[in-house]
Chains A and B, each alone.
Chain A
């Protein structure tokens, strides 16, 4: 069977979650942008919201990153992203949900603010930074000791936490916060390790290359 096709771009945090899951599980896939963009009738027929990522796997078409992740986890049993026990799986999902609800969009707004898609006035940015700080404090409390978010093994939590921290660490300094993880020892140690992990590093390198190109010639470069 042909490998699944994922419409998206690795520098999108929502796509990155899915790419990280595939990388961890060793699921071969093709990642590309929809031809003509996300607003073509062809693409809207797949995903009426015109967003990314969208997965096409044989006859199945799915969108919303959380649905994609759970689908991949259920279909490809090797190297699971979710622990077997209800309480450990819930811990992974708890971290994922906090990233999703309180950090990811806020961190992405740090980037959007640089490119004119969000305000760049101090009132907006101070609120944003405060929200990000609160989410980081909560994550610091939820994080296990060890290399990964849950401790010893890569999980769904890492698929969410890595993109959220990537955006935080990459774009907070452009807004005057040199070290956004400062004072959060577990998160600092986690980030220092995971960004170099063999599953994660190539994915982040892909995002770095995207943003280097995207921001070329702007003051945010």
Chain B
């Protein structure tokens, strides 16, 4: 099986979703940044928005992480990440949506503020409030089992893991030492995933890369 080309960097949480999906499914990927950058004419031909991740799988070119994860799972039937039963699938997608819409954006705000060297107290407080609210909702919808939507990995894990990475690591940059505190299921999940064979490796890659980026 030829490796799927994934354009992007592991530190992008959107890219990490795709890497997690491929890793859980056992699909080989080749992760690379576009040669002349994401705004080069060559790359804009693949993705007119000039964003990552974008994938090339033979003649198929796709962008938007959720589209890519769905595609990989539809194409490769082994180790399905999307449950077959409607109810379980709806639940997995709900957990993924909460992570994507309400947890990750707040976590990313911390990272972007740090990179831009901004520290406006009102903005920091707003991001903290937003993150707390997102995590409260996540605590309500996440399963109490090994993975985010049950006993086996699903697309929910592909979305929750990068979102929590930014909540925890970027939150820490602004003094949030126990960002998951009081949310028992989410906190236990985060502990497990750092040791998870698949997710742990990708989280390590994200963490290493974040240190490099912040060190300039």
A residues bordering B, Cβ < 8 Å?
A: 48-49, 60, 62-64, 66-68, 70-71, 74-75, 86-87, 89-90, 93-94, 96-98, 101-102, 134, 137-138, 141
Give the number of residues in B that approach A within 8 Å (Cβ atoms): 30
A90-B71 Cα distance, complex, nearest whole Å: 6
The answer to whether B64 and A94 touch across the interface, beta carbons within 8 angstroms, is: yes
The answer to whether A48 and B94 touch across the interface, beta carbons within 8 angstroms, is: no
Given the contacts A87-B60, A97-B67, A74 and B89 also touching, CB distance less than 8 Å:
yes
The 8 closest A-B pairs by CB, nearest first: A71-B90, A97-B64, A86-B75, A64-B97, A75-B86, A67-B93, A74-B86, A86-B74
The answer to whether B71 and A63 touch across the interface, beta carbons within 8 angstroms, is: no
Q: Distance in Å from the Cβ of A199 to the closest Cβ of chain B?
A: 22
Instruction: Please indicate the chain A residues that have their CB under 8 angstroms from the CB of B48 in the complex.
Output: 137-138, 141
The answer to whether B136 and A48 touch across the interface, beta carbons within 8 angstroms, is: yes
> Is B125 among interface residues, defined by CB-CB distance under 8 A?
no
The answer to whether A93 and B97 touch across the interface, beta carbons within 8 angstroms, is: no
> Would you list 15 pairs from A and B whose C-beta atoms are within 8 A, ordered by A residue?
A66-B66, A66-B97, A71-B86, A71-B93, A75-B86, A89-B70, A90-B67, A90-B68, A90-B70, A90-B74, A94-B63, A97-B64, A97-B66, A98-B64, A138-B49
Given the contacts A62-B94, A101-B64, A138-B49, A86 and B87 also touching, CB distance less than 8 Å:
no
Contact of A64 among B63, B93, B140 (CB under 8 A): B93
Instruction: Please indicate the chain A residues that have their CB under 8 angstroms from the CB of B60 in the complex.
Output: 87, 90
A141-B66 Cα distance, complex, nearest whole Å: 20
> Is B98 among interface residues, defined by CB-CB distance under 8 A?
yes
Given A49-B102, A74-B89, A90-B70, 15 more A-B residue pairs with CB atoms under 8 Å apart are: A62-B90, A64-B93, A64-B94, A70-B90, A71-B89, A87-B71, A87-B75, A89-B70, A89-B71, A90-B71, A93-B64, A93-B67, A93-B70, A96-B67, A97-B64
Instruction: Please indicate the chain B residues that have their CB under 8 angstroms from the CB of A96 in the complex.
Output: 67
Instruction: Please indicate the chain B residues that have their CB under 8 angstroms from the CB of A74 in the complex.
Output: 84-86, 89-90
A94-B54 Cα distance, complex, nearest whole Å: 11
The answer to whether A48 and B140 touch across the interface, beta carbons within 8 angstroms, is: yes
Which of A60, A64, A89, A141 has the most chain B CB within a 10 Å cutoff?
Answer: A64
The answer to whether B90 and A67 touch across the interface, beta carbons within 8 angstroms, is: yes
The answer to whether B49 and A102 touch across the interface, beta carbons within 8 angstroms, is: yes
A66-B90 Cα distance, complex, nearest whole Å: 9
The answer to whether A68 and B74 touch across the interface, beta carbons within 8 angstroms, is: no
